Amino acid sequence: MQTEVDTLWEYYPPKAEKNMAKILKIIQEKNLILRKKAEPVKDPNSAEIKELIADMIATMKDANGIGLAAPQVGVSQSLFVVGLEDKNYVFINPIVKDISDDETLFEEGCLSVQKIWGPVVRPKKLTIKAVDENGNPVKIRAKGLLARVIQHEMDHLDGKLFIDKAEKIYTIEGQRS
Name the residues that contact Ni ion, by CB under 5 A: 110
CB of 69 to Ni ion, least distance (A): 7
Q: Which residue is nearest to Ni ion (CB)?
A: 110
Least CB distance to Ni ion at residue 72 (A)? 6
Of the pair 52, 110, the CB lying nearest Ni ion is at 110
The yes-or-no answer on residue 51 being catalytic is: no
Give me the least distance between CB of 100 and Ni ion, in Å please.
22
CB of 56 to Ni ion, least distance (A): 13
Sheet containing 126-131: give its strands across.
Answer: 67-69, 79-84, 87-97, 126-131, 137-142
* Active-site choice (39, 48, 108, 153): 153
Q: Which is nearer to Ni ion, 92 or 149 (CB)?
A: 149
CA distances from 18 to 24, 90, 131, 137, 176 (A): 17, 21, 24, 27, 45
When the beta carbons of 20 and 121 are compared against Ni ion, the nearer one is 121
> Judged by CB, which is closer to Ni ion: 38, or 110?
110
Point out the residues that are catalytic: 153
